[in-house]
Amino acid sequence: MGTLPGHVPSKETRMKSGFKRTMAMFAACLLSQGAAAQSGDDTIRKIEEYRQALAGGNPADLWEARGEDLWKKKAGPKNASLETCDLGRGPGVVTGAYAELPRYFADTGRVMDLESRLMHCRMTLQGLSAAEARTRPFGNGTDRSDNEALVAFVTAESKGVKMNVPLSHPKEREAYALGKKMFFFRGGPHDFSCATCHSETGKRIRLQDLPNLTETKDAQRAYTTWPAYRVSQGEMRTFQWRLFDCFRQQRFPELDFASDASIALTTFLARNANGAEFNAPAIKR
Amino acid sequence: MKSITRALLSVGALAFAAGCATVSDADLSRQAAEVLRASFKERGQAKLDRLNQDQPQAACSVEPDKKPPVAELERMEKAQQALIRYPADGKLLGDWREGEKIAQSGVGKQFSDSPAIPAGGNCYACHQITREEISFGTIGPPLLNYGKLRGNSDAMQRYTYGKIYNPQAFAACSNMPRFGHNSILTEQQIKHLTALLLDPASPVNK
Amino acid sequence: MGEINTSRRQALKQGSATAILGMFVAAGLVRPGTAHAAWNQAAFSVKGVDNVVKSLGGAGTAATKDISWGSTPEIAENGAVVPISVTSNIPKTESIAILVDKNPNTLAASFTIPPGTDPNVSMRVKMGETSQVHALIKADGKYFVATREIKVTLGGCGG
Amino acid sequence: MADPMRIRAKIEGDKTIVRVLMAHEMETGQRRDAAGKVVPAHFIQEVTATHNGKTVLSAQWGPAVSKNPYLQFQFSGAKAGDKVVISWVDSKGDKRTDEATVAA
């Protein structure tokens, strides 16, 4: 809210956010500002201590164990396990698979992320219907989600692996380009896009640090720490959930599970994390 | 899946499929909007029409360095200024205590929110406002001492009310929601927020 | 990576092995450890440190500084999970309890520490709001208490 | 039946550090579901840890313990290969017992 009435900024300053101008206007109260900033730093340090205290025990382990069970257990009309599911590195290869997703799959002719690929395997290998395979993509207390458990298991098998999402197929490049467009798409009653919160470095929402997903380091750190156990919910949440809930808070309608938009956005964000070590399931607020 | 197939029929997508990277930016934007529309479903109060962009939304859906030229931004601001509706009673200051509650509340307009519950402004999500609240965001500038620095003149009241009502009238492509223009907050709620920022008794100015 | 996975698989195998053990327990064939003391409903229903001590069978507390809070944070980013770590440096510590003033019921958890076990526990509690949190130590039959404030903040988008 | 616990027991110096994760909702009885109905209380009340049949920790918990509880403690006298057994009983009488092998 930095602009004064009637004030027309020069061409040079115009496109910079109102932030700098406001800071100048607030120069008169630098002392009190300084004090506030200091207490802010102290808060950040203490929040960091909180996060470190949590890191010691991650309940996502419970989802991993259940997911491994689901992966190996025979189930569905075809009474088959998922052990021959091809996640991109060949049938049954789980280790490192998540670090190379989303990617183009020739057998379906489309780009798929982990969750849409798991859906595909549960349909083709186990004989589930599309409706069954997309039932309860996200859990809620005792209504547990098989998808979240499977994702916890598969992603944990990429821990320590460098992100290496391919853009070699034209459809992978198309998904990336579309995902990038969607990232900047403003809509809804609040005019929000992904970029509203995630295109500037060093910003916070309340006390929560916001990764700048247009900048390599932040994009890497953000993507490689999902999925995550969310202590605020007591649930292990996947990357599709992350997108689903961002859009809810953007005041958009509901992002459909395994939809083309979710895969395109995931392709954009996952690819931007290339080169970084994958380090999830993590634990977050 | 159908949407992608449909989108693939567009010229731009055919260029992609042919491995040629000369798809126009405008085509890509259209294609992205089309895929988005096919990927969302209405839920609660959030209908699919929320994906229909108005002029500023469409013009501002770009990377930060690709915003419209200055003359166009100024034209957009003027157009938005013409849409601000000031209170008929001419009073712009409400109760700062109510304003503080509105600034704290983050509910409203999400598909998970009941439309019966008044929306909040969620101002603390992006702004430091009072010294007492340590949980504040930094997407917007700090507003501590807002009124103390600027005074409480009629012109300042009018600017502040208008800025909350429609920030894009003063800074095109601002990140801040157009709280009045898009009926997120009521006239009375915006008056309360204006008081939170300008009332000498408000903790903002203490 | 390998180590984590191995231990998970082990846990799974052990999980099924102990399901069998669980059946024996249910059938009363073996008792897990020593007999469970019955859950102290009274202690978990009252408000205030003094009332908790009373329902645990004690009479009054003394303030102490011989308790360290370890990795317990001063600010919690979310009240649903507040990590608490308490180490008692008081000789002959028999039990450690965690109390939260502003919760609906003050007592959150109580641990009995037999000889051979360190007087040190880490766990996580829910807090509805910023509150005084107490570590209540029973040592050599007497009760000691240490207190610290933990702030609970509102994080995220606030929606 | 509840999911298995995740138990890790590791010797560090002359102590064995035990870390436990339990799958449990830990319902307080004060939360309302989406339909506005109170979700009944359901939480772990008693936890016991044994090593070679000897109790090394016992606990009583109320509903203020966080969902999917985490517990860490340490004791003396175990050697690699020993078993640590953890049991819990909740407010509905549901039980769970799991064990882990002490790692060097």
Supply φ then ψ for residue B144, to 5 degrees.
-55, 135
Beta bridge partners of C135: C98, C146
pLDDT of residue C4: 38
Contact (Cβ atoms closer than 8 angstroms) between residue C128 and residue C51: no
* Closest residue in D to A236 (Cα–Cα): D68
pLDDT of residue A40: 64
What are chain D's partners, defined as 3 or more CB pairs within 8 angstroms? A, C
| Interchain contact D41–C (C-beta under 8 A) | no
Count of H helices and E strands in chain C?
3, 9
Q: Predicted confidence band at A11 (pLDDT cuts at 50, 70, 90)?
A: very low
* Closest residue in B to A262 (Cα–Cα): B39
pLDDT of residue D36: 86
Q: What is the mean pLDDT of residues C114-143?
A: 96
Residues of chain A with pLDDT > 90: what percent? 79
Distance from CA of C157 to the nearest CA of B (A): 6
Nearest to B134 among C153, C158, C159 (CB): C153
* Closest residue in A to D21 (Cα–Cα): A59
Beta bridge partners of A162: A277
Higher pLDDT among residues A119 and C77, named by residue: A119
Distance from CA of D82 to the nearest CA of A (A): 22
Residue A255, classified by CB atoms within 10 Å of its CB into exposed (0-12), middle (13-18) or buried (19+), is buried
Q: Determine which of C123, C125, C152 to mutate to test the interface with D (most D C-beta atoms within 10 Å).
A: C123
pLDDT of residue A285: 84
Q: Predicted confidence band at A25 (pLDDT cuts at 50, 70, 90)?
A: very low
Q: Do C117 and D56 touch (CB under 8 A)?
A: yes
Q: What is the mean pLDDT of residues A159-182?
A: 98
Series of mean pLDDT values for 10-residue runs along chain D (104 residues): 92 96 95 87 97 96 97 97 97 96 95
pLDDT per position as a tens digit, C41-50: 999 999 999 9
| Cα separation, B188 vs B95, whole angstroms | 9
Q: What is the mean pLDDT of residues C7-11?
A: 42
Distance from CA of C78 to the nearest CA of B (A): 12
| Chain D residues near residue C7 by CB distance under 8 angstroms | 8, 103
Nearest to D25 among A56, A62, A141 (CB): A141
Q: Do D58 and C10 touch (CB under 8 A)?
A: no
Q: Do A207 and C153 touch (CB under 8 A)?
A: yes
Q: Do A53 and C155 touch (CB under 8 A)?
A: no
Q: Do B28 and A29 touch (CB under 8 A)?
A: no
Q: With residue A155 as reference, give the H or E element that holds it.
A: helix A146-156
pLDDT of residue C37: 52
Contact (Cβ atoms closer than 8 angstroms) between residue A83 and residue A71: yes
**Region C43-152: CATH code:** 2.60.40.2470
pLDDT of residue A30: 30
| Interchain contact C31–D (C-beta under 8 A) | no
Q: What is the mean pLDDT of residues C94-113?
A: 97
Residues of chain C with pLDDT > 90: what percent? 69
Q: Is the peptide bond before D63 cis (omega within 30 degrees of 0)?
A: no
Distance from CA of A81 to the nearest CA of C (A): 17
Contact (Cβ atoms closer than 8 angstroms) between residue D104 and residue D11: yes
Q: What is the mean pLDDT of residues A22-42?
A: 40
Q: Determine which of D28, D68, D94 to mutate to test the interface with A (most A C-beta atoms within 10 Å).
A: D68
User: Is residue B84 scored above 70 in pLDDT?
Assistant: yes
Q: What is the average pLDDT value for chain A, to the nearest integer?
A: 87
Residue D31, classified by CB atoms within 10 Å of its CB into exposed (0-12), middle (13-18) or buried (19+), is middle
| Chain C residues near residue B110 by CB distance under 8 angstroms | 159
pLDDT of residue D90: 96
User: Is residue C15 scored above 80 in pLDDT?
Assistant: no
Long-range contacts of A94-98 (CB under 8 A, 24+ apart): A94/A153, A94/A154, A94/A157, A95/A157, A95/A158, A95/A161, A95/C1, A96/A157, A96/A158, A96/A161, A97/A154, A97/A157, A97/A158, A98/A154, A98/A155, A98/A157, A98/A158, A98/A161, A98/A278
Q: Predicted confidence band at C66 (pLDDT cuts at 50, 70, 90)?
A: very high
Q: What is the average pLDDT value for chain C, to the nearest integer?
A: 81
Q: Do D21 and A61 touch (CB under 8 A)?
A: yes
Domain ranges of chain C: 1-39, 43-152
Name the nearest CA neighbour of C126 among D29, A273, A61, B3: D29
Q: How far is CA B140 from CA A37, A190, B119, B147, C135, in A?
A: 15, 15, 20, 17, 41
Domain ranges of chain D: 6-101
Contact (Cβ atoms closer than 8 angstroms) between residue A137 and residue A240: yes
Q: Do C73 and A46 touch (CB under 8 A)?
A: yes
Task: Read off the pTM.
Answer: 0.84
Nearest to A53 among C80, C83, C155 (CB): C83
| Cα separation, D11 vs D76, whole angstroms | 9
Q: Is the peptide bond before C83 cis (omega within 30 degrees of 0)?
A: no
The contacts of residue D48 (CB under 8 Å, 6+ apart) are C32, C33, C34, C36, D55, D57, D58, D59, D86, D87, D88
Residue B5, classified by CB atoms within 10 Å of its CB into exposed (0-12), middle (13-18) or buried (19+), is exposed
| Chain A residues near residue C12 by CB distance under 8 angstroms | 65, 68-69
3-state secondary structure of B95: coil
Q: Do C4 and A46 touch (CB under 8 A)?
A: no
Contact (Cβ atoms closer than 8 angstroms) between residue B10 and residue B31: yes
Written as six digits, the tokens of C142 are 């007497």
| Cα separation, D100 vs D104, whole angstroms | 13
| Cα separation, A128 vs A134, whole angstroms | 10
Q: Do A156 and C5 touch (CB under 8 A)?
A: yes
| Cα separation, A228 vs A239, whole angstroms | 9
Name the nearest CA neighbour of D88 among D66, D62, D64, D60: D60
pLDDT of residue D1: 66
User: Phi-psi category of B165—alpha, beta or left, where left has phi over 0 and alpha has psi -120 to 50?
Assistant: alpha
Q: What is the mean pLDDT of residues B10-35?
A: 70
| Cα separation, A183 vs A235, whole angstroms | 26
pLDDT of residue B91: 97
| Cα separation, C27 vs B156, whole angstroms | 78
Name the nearest CA neighbour of A151 among A212, A98, A206: A98
pLDDT of residue C12: 39
Nearest to B149 among A28, A181, A191 (CB): A28
Q: What is the mean pLDDT of residues C63-83?
A: 94
A246 is catalytic: yes
* Triad B121, B124, B126: Cα angle to 5°: 95
CA-only gyration radius of chain A, Å: 21
In chain A the first and final C-alpha atoms are separated, in Å, by 29
pLDDT per position as a tens digit, A81-116: 999 999 999 999 999 999 999 999 999 999 999 999
Name the nearest CA neighbour of B143 among A22, A201, A28, C156: A22
For the domain made up of D6-101, the CATH class stated in words is: mainly beta
pLDDT of residue D31: 86
| Chain C residues near residue A50 by CB distance under 8 angstroms | 73, 75-77, 83
User: Is residue C155 scored above 90 in pLDDT?
Assistant: no
The contacts of residue A200 (CB under 8 Å, 6+ apart) are A17, A210, A212, B139
| Cα separation, A31 vs B25, whole angstroms | 48
Q: Do B125 and C158 touch (CB under 8 A)?
A: yes
Written as six digits, the tokens of A38 are 């200091």
Beta bridge partners of D16: D11, D75
Distance from CA of D6 to the nearest CA of A (A): 7
Q: What is the mean pLDDT of residues C86-105?
A: 97
Distance from CA of C62 to the nearest CA of D (A): 23
Q: What is the ipTM of this complex?
A: 0.82
What are chain A's partners, defined as 3 or more CB pairs within 8 angstroms? B, C, D
Nearest to A47 among C75, C154, C159 (CB): C75
Q: Predicted confidence band at B82 (pLDDT cuts at 50, 70, 90)?
A: very high
Distance from CA of A165 to the nearest CA of C (A): 21
Name the nearest CA neighbour of D68 among C115, A125, A64: A64
| Cα separation, B139 vs B129, whole angstroms | 13
| Interchain contact D52–C (C-beta under 8 A) | no
- Of A85, A121, A194, A246, which one is the catalytic site residue? A246
Nearest to D64 among C26, C32, C100 (CB): C100
Q: Predicted confidence band at C19 (pLDDT cuts at 50, 70, 90)?
A: very low
Q: What is the mean pLDDT of residues C83-95?
A: 97
Long-range contacts of A11-14 (CB under 8 A, 24+ apart): A11/B70, A14/B70, A14/B73
| Chain D residues near residue A231 by CB distance under 8 angstroms | 66
pLDDT of residue C5: 41
Other Cβ atoms closer than 10 A to B197: 29
pLDDT per position as a tens digit, A178-231: 999 999 999 999 999 999 999 999 999 998 889 999 999 999 999 999 999 999
Q: Do C158 and B110 touch (CB under 8 A)?
A: no
